[in-house]
Amino acid sequence: MPMELTDLAERAGEWLSGTGPESDIVISCRIRLARNLRGFTFLTRASDEEKKLLEQSISGRLAEIDFGKKTTYLPLHETDMLERLFLVERHLISKELAAAESPRGVMLGDNESLAIMVNEEDHLRIQAMRSGLELSALWNEINGYDQAIERKLDYAFSSQFGYLTSCPTNVGTGMRVSVMMHLPVLVMTKQIEKVFQAMNKIGLAVRGLYGERTRGLGDFYQISNQVTLGKDEETIVHDLAEVIPKVMEYERKWRESLLKENRAQLEDAVYRAQGLLSAARVISSEETMNLLSSIRMGVNLGLITGIPIAKVNELFIQTQPAHLQIIEGRALQPEERDQLRARFIRQRLDLKAD
C-alpha cells in the first residue's frame, strides 16, 4: 500500500474540517469538470492500448503542472481493491473508477482539496472540494486548475456544444456542482420530502453521501445540478448558491421550532445515540452513520459539548469498511469489522464503555 494512504486514513481532508461557512449544515461543496482530449477516442470506445497511452501521457502532463500545492499521482491499476474503496469512501475517486480494470489513475492535491481522475468516464474528471458553503471561491479555484491543465492538454471543445463528453448528459460545461448537506431535523420532522420535490422542480438532483443508493443515510443529502448545457458555469454556480441557503433556513427553522416545542424528542434522539455508541459492541456502518448524525445534531444544537465537529465529520468516513481495514492494517471479515467499529468509535469519541 502506498505510504500516502495509511497517512490519509488518520487525517481528514479539509472538506471535513467543519471550518467553512455554514458548516453546521453544509458539510462541503464540490465542483467537478468533465474534460476529454481532442483527437483521442472517448473511453467508451477506446481500446486497452489507447487507454494505456492516454493514462501515460495525461499523467505525464499533469505532473508538469504547478497547481500551487503538493500533488501525488496514484496509478490505480497498481493498487488493490481495498485501497481503491478507501479512496471512494473519501470521495476522491468514483465507484466506477475503483471498479474498472484498465490503466487509470488519480492525482491528489494536498489536503484532498483537488482530485483529478484519469480515464474515468471521460479522459479527465477534475474535482475540487472544500469545507462549508463557498461556491464562487471554489469555482474560481477549479477554473484556475482547469486553465492550467488546458495550457498543457488540448481539450475536445465545440463552439456549438461546448466541452464534448463521453455521455451527452455532461456536454456543455461538463460541470457538476454539488453541496453536501446535513439535514437531521428535516428528516425527523418528515419535511425532507418537500425538499426533494422542490429540488426536482428546479432541475436539481438529490443524492446521499455515497450516491443515490445511500440517500438519507446519516441524514446526508447531496444537492447538485442536472443540466450542464445551455447555462454558463457562473449561472450554474449562482443558481445553486441561491437555493442552498433556502434549504439551510428550512432546517434551521425546524430546529428552533423543535427545540421550543418538543425538546424532549430532540434530547432523546441525541442522548440515545450517545448511549448506543458508548454501549454497542457490534455495529454496522449504516447504524453508525445514523447515530453519528444524531451526535452531529446534538453538537450543533449545544446538547453535546466537548466533541469537536471535525471529529464527528471524520468519523462518518473513518468508520466506513475500507477505512477501518486500512487503519487496522489488515483485511477484516464483516463481523470482525462491526466489532472493531464499535471499539473504534468509543475510543475516538472518548466515550466510556458501560
**C-alpha cell belonging to residue 302:** 449545544
Establish if 224 lies at the interface with a second copy (CB under 8 A): no
Site string for a second copy, 283-322 (x = CB under 8 A): x---------------------------------------
Choose one: 130-138, 182-190, 259-267, 305-313; the region binding a second copy (CB under 8 A): 259-267
Size of the site for a second copy (CB under 8 A): 21
Establish if 268 lies at the interface with a second copy (CB under 8 A): yes
Alpha carbon 248 to its chain's center: 19
- Our CB check for a second copy shows the closer of 23 and 274 to be 274
Place of cell 431535523: 185
Establish if 202 lies at the interface with a second copy (CB under 8 A): no
Helix or strand holding residue 123 (H, E): none
Interatomic CA distance for residues 144 and 150, integer angstroms: 10
Exactly one of 21, 235, 281, 286 binds a second copy (CB under 8 A); that residue is 281
Establish if 155 lies at the interface with a second copy (CB under 8 A): no
Q: Count CA atoms within 13 Å of residue 129 on its CB side.
A: 28
- Our CB check for a second copy shows the closer of 21 and 275 to be 275
CB pairs under 8 A, 24+ apart, for 202-206? Answer: 202/239, 202/243, 203/227, 204/240, 204/243
178: left (phi over 0), alpha (psi -120 to 50) or beta: beta
Helix or strand holding residue 180 (H, E): strand 175-182
Choose one: 7-15, 217-225, 273-281, 305-313; the region binding a second copy (CB under 8 A): 273-281
- Our CB check for a second copy shows the closer of 279 and 327 to be 279
* All residues at 6 or more sequence positions from 66 whose CB lies less than 8 Å from its CB, including other chains: 148
What angle in degrees, to the nearest 10, is found between the helix axes of 263-279 and 233-261?
Answer: 100
- Considering the complex, what minimum distance in angstroms separates the CB of residue 187 from a second copy? 18
Cα–Cα separations (whole angstroms), residue 223 to 7, 29, 195: 30, 9, 10
CA-based R_g, the chain, Å? 21
Asked whether the beta carbons of 96 and 76 are under 8 A apart, the reply is: no
Establish if 272 lies at the interface with a second copy (CB under 8 A): yes
- Considering the complex, what minimum distance in angstroms separates the CB of residue 344 from a second copy? 14
Establish if 265 lies at the interface with a second copy (CB under 8 A): yes
- Considering the complex, what minimum distance in angstroms separates the CB of residue 289 from a second copy? 17
Establish if 267 lies at the interface with a second copy (CB under 8 A): yes
Exactly one of 264, 329, 330, 333 binds a second copy (CB under 8 A); that residue is 264
3-state secondary structure of 72: strand
Site string for a second copy, 317-346 (x = CB under 8 A): ------------------x---x--x----
Exactly one of 276, 307, 322, 345 binds a second copy (CB under 8 A); that residue is 276
Establish if 3 lies at the interface with a second copy (CB under 8 A): no
Interatomic CA distance for residues 292 and 286, integer angstroms: 10
39: left (phi over 0), alpha (psi -120 to 50) or beta: left
Choose one: 53-61, 95-103, 153-161, 280-288; the region binding a second copy (CB under 8 A): 280-288
- Considering the complex, what minimum distance in angstroms separates the CB of residue 338 from a second copy? 8
Exactly one of 97, 240, 280, 349 binds a second copy (CB under 8 A); that residue is 280
Place of cell 467553512: 20
Interatomic CA distance for residues 216 and 317, integer angstroms: 15
Interatomic CA distance for residues 42 and 117, integer angstroms: 15
Establish if 274 lies at the interface with a second copy (CB under 8 A): yes
Choose one: 4-12, 39-47, 124-132, 281-289; the region binding a second copy (CB under 8 A): 281-289
Establish if 278 lies at the interface with a second copy (CB under 8 A): yes
User: Which residues contact a second copy (rule: CB under 8 A)?
Assistant: 264-265, 267-268, 271-276, 278-283, 335, 339, 342, 353-354
